[in-house]
Amino acid sequence: MNAGPAPEWAPAIPVVQAPMAGGASTPELAAAVSEAGGLGFLAAGYRTAGRMRADIERTRELTSRPFGVNLFMPSSDAVDDAAVAAYRARLGAEGGRLGVEPGTPQARDDGWDAKAADLLADPPAFVSVTFGCPGAGLVRAFRRAGAVVIVTVTTADEAREAAGAGADALCVQGMEAGAHRGSFTNTGEGALPLRALLAAVREVVGGLPLIAAGGLGTAAQVADVLALGAVAAQCGTAFLRCPESGASAVHKEALADPRFTETAMTRAFSGRPARGLVNRFLVEHSPHAPAAYPDVHYVTSPLRKAAAAQGDPDAVNLWAGEAFRSAADAPAAEIVAALAAGTA
């Protein structure tokens, strides 16, 4: 496929550890991956600017190699407050069982302005953005501040917009991916499997570097997307069970539990399509969850926290990509080496 030469910023080993909001991508995980020759990422989503900065400083203590931080672009989708209230009422019984009240919706901007300002002052080597694309002025400003800017895209139209805004690279996320689909809107439309999406995106962005994401859990799968012209594979689920990962014990165990056999897309936990292991909460509530992000995220937050603390995998968001069976409980450096085996 029509890929250009590998950019000078490409990691020595073509494996990017996905940013994973909610606690999985710790400074320890990002640093271990970067130390192993891949590219580690921190997730700033759901964190304050102060927590994000503390994570960056901690990662800098652990490695002098390049790493990245990922931001959630604020949503401009309209939200039906009555539908959120009805869903919250529906979840009352879950709360009763777990001994907590469902939460209430909070600000929708994820502290974007404060985090962007903080990163413009002192960015790590890479800044990636999900759920939308910053304007060309901000992309230019991040680049001038010294960061390589990556935008996650899930359709050819999103790729065209991100390329037009001046992104250095695109993270092309196929529908096999674990957790949220990083689409610019919350319509749920237009999702494509990774290989078809890579081809469609390549068509509209020419030689712009592409990082492939979604369901990549083995060296063969990584080699396959590199052969399709990607400069690297971005893997999330593959790192969830690492000792360096901050995923909850319940989440780590579920990924290896034979009781969980498949994944599905759901809005039940956050109001945005996201892929997770099929558990009771997902089955019972998916048909009723409104397209309301991050409102539903805040409504379910106390339930998810209580369920995780009580060791109940059936009321937690067990984010997982389609290749979850390949995720191993092994140090991150070993996972990087295993994913890249044969690609050097």
Ligand X SMILES: Cc1cc2nc3c(=O)[nH]c(=O)nc-3n(C[C@H](O)[C@H](O)[C@H](O)COP(=O)(O)O)c2cc1C
Q: Is 105 a binder of ligand X (CB under 6 A)?
A: no
Q: Is 69 a binder of ligand X (CB under 6 A)?
A: no
Residue 13: both structure tokens together: 């080993």
Q: Is 45 a binder of ligand X (CB under 6 A)?
A: yes
Contact 302, 108 (CB under 8 A): no
CA pair distance 116, 142, nearest whole angstrom: 9
Shortest reach from residue 209's CB to ligand X, in Å: 16
Contact 260, 279 (CB under 8 A): yes
Q: Is 234 a binder of ligand X (CB under 6 A)?
A: yes
Q: Is 169 a binder of ligand X (CB under 6 A)?
A: no
Q: Is 18 a binder of ligand X (CB under 6 A)?
A: yes
Shortest reach from residue 58's CB to ligand X, in Å: 17
Which amino acid does the sequence have at 142? F
Residue 333: both structure tokens together: 């450096």
Residue with tokens 């390549």: 202
Count the site residues for ligand X by CB under 6 A: 29
Q: Is 20 a binder of ligand X (CB under 6 A)?
A: yes
Phi/psi for 256 (5° steps) reads -110, 5
Q: Report the side by side order of strands in the sheet with 274-277.
A: 179-180, 274-277, 263-266
Which amino acid does the sequence have at 218? T
- Helix 136-144 to helix 156-165 angle (10° resolution) is 60
**Nearest CB to ligand X, comparing residues 75 and 130:** 130
Query: Which residues neighbour 303 within 8 Å (Cβ) at sequence distance 6 or greater?
Result: 91, 94, 95, 98, 100, 102, 103, 315
Binding range to ligand X, per CB under 6 A, among 114-122, 200-208, 234-242, 294-302: 234-242
Cβ atoms within 10 Å, residue 130: 27
Which amino acid does the sequence have at 342? G
Binding range to ligand X, per CB under 6 A, among 77-85, 95-103, 177-185, 306-314: 177-185
Using the rule CB under 6 A, which residue among 162, 213, 303, 340 binds ligand X? 213
Shortest reach from residue 78's CB to ligand X, in Å: 23
Q: Is 179 a binder of ligand X (CB under 6 A)?
A: yes
Would you give the distance in Å from CA 8 to the centre of its chain?
A: 24
Shortest reach from residue 129's CB to ligand X, in Å: 8
Using the rule CB under 6 A, which residue among 214, 290, 294, 313 binds ligand X? 214
Going residue by residue from 113 to 152, which x/- string records binding to ligand X, judged by CB under 6 A?
-----------------x---------------------x
Using the rule CB under 6 A, which residue among 183, 237, 248, 301 binds ligand X? 237
Q: Is 216 a binder of ligand X (CB under 6 A)?
A: yes
Residue 204: both structure tokens together: 């509209």
- As a whole number of Å, the CA-based R_g of the chain is 19
Q: Is 154 a binder of ligand X (CB under 6 A)?
A: no
Contact 256, 237 (CB under 8 A): no
**Nearest CB to ligand X, comparing residues 83 and 138:** 138
Using the rule CB under 6 A, which residue among 27, 103, 134, 182 binds ligand X? 182
**Nearest CB to ligand X, comparing residues 21 and 95:** 21
Contact 102, 96 (CB under 8 A): no
Contact 22, 297 (CB under 8 A): no
Binding range to ligand X, per CB under 6 A, among 2-10, 109-117, 174-182, 292-300: 174-182
**Nearest CB to ligand X, comparing residues 44 and 303:** 44
The residues that touch ligand X, with contacts defined as CB under 6 A, are 18-22, 24, 43, 45, 70, 130, 152, 173, 176-179, 182, 213-216, 234-238, 319, 321, 323
